[in-house]
């Protein structure tokens, strides 16, 4: 009979950090894509995505489900099916790292984990009946209303809580600051949409076969396509004046 390998606390911490980091990044990407597709600028976004419509439809339909799955996994109990199935989750990491949540100084961390599980509980019907399994009634009816509503605020709150939980556990395990800012700030969604907008702008200019005026170039620099003010300084006052003349 094979004996189970006991992981080191360092391996548990590294895995936990990795899981939380990628869960936040995935959830934020899904959230930003959802907000972009439902913003006041939805028509402009739609026109940008139109040439690759199937690709963006795929992203919009799969990213939220992938985020729900990762969030829900972290909230699951460490043992399931009568203890025959063990899995990595927040409770497992807390236990293996020897963190006693009943200590007075860890009250806030305990509350954050409780709040995270409470919101993650709302995702369970979607995970069980729609993502992991094809529940017959749900699949045939295509009616998800009985599964409960997941708001953008719920996902944002989950990301904030996960960040705080990782920082709290990190302070107790590695005795230092843990920063997960990159996970939420560098999803690439906004950059991708901005790049598509820039490409559409330049494609329109080339189609019209006309040269750019200095004012148009400066406006492009302000929009961030090249963003090299050392080459072509942007003069706000003269730009605005020139733009008024052109309009």
Mean of pLDDT values over 134-163: 88
According to the model, what pLDDT value does residue 15 have?
Answer: 92
According to the model, what pLDDT value does residue 112 have?
Answer: 96
What would the two tokens of residue 152 be?
């953008």
In which residue are the tokens 């360092």 written? 10
Q: Is the pLDDT of residue 245 over 70?
A: no
Q: What are the DSSP E strand ranges found in the chain?
A: 79-80, 85-86
What would the two tokens of residue 210 be?
């006309």
Q: Is the pLDDT of residue 242 over 60?
A: no
| Residues 196, 198, 199, 205, CA torsion sign | positive
pLDDT digits (tens, 9 = 90+) for 56-79: 677 777 888 999 999 999 999 998
What would the two tokens of residue 6 be?
């006991």
Q: Is the pLDDT of residue 233 over 70?
A: no
Of 156, 180, 158, the C-alpha closest to 168 is: 180
Range name among 163-177, 201-215, 225-239 with the lowest pLDDT average: 225-239
Mean of pLDDT values over 229-245: 39
Of 246, 51, 27, the C-alpha closest to 158 is: 27
DSSP conformational letter for 247 = -
Instruction: Say which residue, 113 or 53, is predicted with more confidence.
Output: 113
Of 198, 168, 223, the C-alpha closest to 16 is: 168
Backbone dihedral region for residue 85 (phi beyond 0: left; psi -120 to 50: alpha; all else: beta): beta
Q: Is the pLDDT of residue 210 over 60?
A: no
Q: Between helices 42-49 and 9-37, what is the axis angle to 10°?
A: 110
H or E segment at 154?
helix 152-173
Q: Where are the domains of the chain?
A: 9-186, 192-246
pTM (whole model) above 0.75:
no
């Amino acid at each position: 009979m094979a004996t189970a390998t006991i992981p080191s606390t360092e391996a548990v911490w590294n895995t936990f950090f990795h899981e939380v980091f990628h869960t936040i990044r995935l959830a934020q990407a899904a959230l930003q894509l959802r907000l972009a597709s439902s913003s006041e600028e939805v028509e402009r976004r739609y026109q940008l995505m139109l040439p690759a419509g199937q690709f963006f439809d795929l992203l919009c339909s799969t990213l939220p489900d992938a985020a729900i799955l990762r969030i829900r996994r972290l909230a699951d109990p460490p043992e399931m099916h009568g203890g025959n199935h063990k899995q990595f989750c927040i409770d497992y990491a807390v236990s293996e790292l020897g963190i006693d949540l009943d200590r007075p100084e860890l009250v806030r961390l305990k509350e954050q984990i409780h709040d995270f599980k409470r919101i993650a509980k709302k995702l369970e019907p979607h995970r069980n009946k729609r993502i992991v399994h094809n529940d017959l009634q749900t699949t045939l009816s295509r009616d998800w209303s009985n599964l409960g509503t997941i708001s953008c605020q719920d996902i944002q709150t989950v990301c904030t809580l996960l960040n705080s939980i990782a920082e709290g556990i990190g302070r107790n395990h590695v005795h230092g600051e843990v920063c997960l800012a990159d996970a939420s700030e560098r999803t690439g969604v906004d950059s991708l949409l901005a790049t598509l907008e820039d490409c559409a702008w330049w494609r329109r200019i080339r189609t019209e076969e006309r040269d750019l005026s200095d004012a148009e170039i400066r406006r492009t620099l302000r929009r961030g396509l090249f963003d090299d003010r050392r080459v072509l300084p942007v003069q706000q006052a003269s730009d605005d004046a020139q733009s008024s003349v052109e309009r």
